[in-house]
Chains A and B, each alone.
Chain A
Amino acid sequence: DGGITQSPKYLFRKEGQNVTLSCEQNLNHDAMYWYRQDPGQGLRLIYYSQIVNDFQKGDIAEGYSVSREKKESFPLTVTSAQKNPTAFYLCASSTKTGLYEQYFGPGTRLTVT
């Protein structure tokens, strides 16, 4: 079955630790995205990638880093510099960026204490 997988579903970390969220897709999509969702805030774009080995900052990139070494994979690292890391993180992919619909993974709920 084609789709997007994110792991784990729930993640707990202590403050000051970096943590990496996994996102894998087997849809052969060129573009991939990371969003953050807070209650009542909608979706905010963290980073996106249009092609392998290339990525751009979204609206709230500070405190986050990404890599795109393979077409299928777009991991997100939440660094200790991110002031409020507790949130629901959603990964998405699309055929190309912009005008095409995005398909989403199930999300990772990160709690930092």
Chain B
Amino acid sequence: AQKVTQAQTEISVVEKEDVTLDCVYETRDTTYYLFWYKQPPSGELVFLIRRNSFDEQNEISGRYSWNFQKSTSSFNFTITASQVVDSAVYFCALSEMNRDDKIIFGKGTRLHILP
């Protein structure tokens, strides 16, 4: 079973629109971490955020915000007032305390910001 599901394969929005990327995860651990990464066309993954399972506070960083809800096992990512430079593939990932020291990545959501 997929541990990290990003149901949106591809999204296109017009510049300045807000957009939310969904991430649903599955784990039996009580201690785990969630991550978001950005992969621009250059290919290198850029780390955006890490959130532990005990901290459900929403996080805001500039135009980026993250909504973590344990009740629905979701860790959604919103870009406000999108810009063309936000065009990239975005990956959500999960790391579980007691599982092989690995990060499990979702399949990614390709985001197109249209000018």
Give residues in A with beta carbon < 8 Å to B.
31, 40-43, 45, 48, 50, 56, 58, 88, 90, 92, 97-107, 109
Indicate if B72 sits at the interface (CB-CB under 8 A): no
Indicate if B64 sits at the interface (CB-CB under 8 A): no
Give residues in B with beta carbon < 8 Å to A.
9, 32-33, 35, 37, 42-47, 50, 52, 91, 95, 97, 100-103, 105-108
**Chain B residues near A98 (CB-CB < 8 A):** 95, 97, 101-103
Distance of A102 from chain B, by nearest CB (Å): 6
* Interface residue from A42, A58, A101 paired with B102 (Cβ < 8 Å): A58
In the complex, what distance in Å separates the CA atom of A48 from the CA atom of B44? 18
**Chain A residues near B46 (CB-CB < 8 A):** 104
User: Chain B CB within 10 Å — which of A31, A40, A42, A56 has the most?
Assistant: A42
**Chain A residues near B37 (CB-CB < 8 A):** 104
**Chain A residues near B91 (CB-CB < 8 A):** 42-43
In the complex, what distance in Å separates the CA atom of A40 from the CA atom of B52? 27
